[in-house]
Amino acid sequence: MNEKLRITVFGAHPDDCDITAGGVAALWAQGGHHVRFVSVTNGDAGHQTMAGRALANRRREEAEAAGRVLGVEYLVLDNHDGELLPSLENRREIIRLIREQRPHLVLGPRPNDYHPDHRYTATLVQDAAYMVTVPNIVSVAPHLQSNPVIMYTTDRFQKPYPFTPDVVVNVEAGVEKKIAAMACHVSQFFEWLPFNGGYLNEVPAGEQERRAWFRARMEERLAHEADRFRAQLNQRYGAERGQQIKFAEAFELCEYGAPLAENARQLFPFD
């Protein structure tokens, strides 16, 4: 596979793709590959004082700013936050978007999750698998000759089965851009999530202090992910280097897409 890669990453909300795949997206973009982030809802409910169109517009602007940091295309669909359903209309939209980009790889959440929007985003991506190859489904968009590889982004849910990575990638070279992109989502990481999590009083008022606070939080979180998948990092990079990797992202194969097999190194061409 010598051509430039095309990758589509689906998330339920603006900022979801950044959290789960921002590091590897930055690496792909640096290599000249085309990455598209898709937020399946507009995020118009995720705030303690804003809502509706004003919040949706703000979150779209934040997503576009994050996309510029990472060097990726960032689409935000106009479905209401907290109200996403795995409807035929939404399935057709996901099929159309996949066919439009013709990605080699599709990433998205697993269907095991606390949030209905996350679960239904996963369902919509799964339901689009195979259907993207059927000419008479969404016939206005040319069908694909074959399924792309589809993989799940990481989570910590244990039932009915825990996340089991097939690929774990060292993202140290992309972590600066990942954290900077996440920080573009001001409404989330400095307002709504601290409010909802009960730590809003910890967010510094000054811009520089706030950025330093956020960076420290994110580096700690990402370091935990690397430790969680240390065995897989050792296997991919060798024990000596694997033990030294501080930041990683992990992905699990969805059996509804194409097999990963020998494509793993081509799709994740990072040393």
Domain boundaries, the chain: 6-170+250-267
Per-residue HEC secondary structure of the chain comes to CCCCCEEEEEECCCCHHHHHHHHHHHHHHHCCCEEEEEECCCCCCCCCCCCHHHHHHHHHHHHHHHHHHHCCEEEECCCCCCCCCCCHHHHHHHHHHHHHHCCCEEEECCCCCCCHHHHHHHHHHHHHCCHHHCCCCCCCCCCCCCCCEEEEECCCCCCCCCCCCCEEEECHHHHHHHHHHHHCCHHHHHHHHHHHHCCHHHCCCCHHHHHHHHHHHHHHHHHHHHHHCHHHHHHHHCHHHHCCCCCEEEEEECCCCCCCHHHHHHHCCCC
pLDDT one-digit tens code per residue, 231-267: 999 999 999 999 999 999 999 999 999 999 878 989 9
pLDDT one-digit tens code per residue, 58-117: 999 999 999 999 999 999 999 999 999 999 999 999 999 999 999 999 999 999 999 999
Q: What pLDDT, on the 0 to 100 scale, is given for residue 2?
A: 66
Q: What pLDDT, on the 0 to 100 scale, is given for residue 52?
A: 97
Q: What is the CATH number of domain 6-170+250-267?
A: 3.40.50.10320
Pairwise CA distance, residues 89 & 229, whole Å: 38
pLDDT one-digit tens code per residue, 124-158: 999 999 999 999 999 999 999 999 999 999 999 99
Residue 1 has pLDDT above 60, yes or no: no
Find out whether 213 and 90 touch, Cβ atoms under 8 Å.
Answer: no
Q: What is the mean pLDDT of residues 23-29?
A: 98
pLDDT one-digit tens code per residue, 149-198: 999 999 999 999 999 999 999 999 999 999 999 999 999 999 999 999 99
Q: What pLDDT, on the 0 to 100 scale, is given for residue 263?
A: 84
pTM of the model: 0.96
Please state, for a pLDDT cut of 70, what percent of the chain lies above it.
99
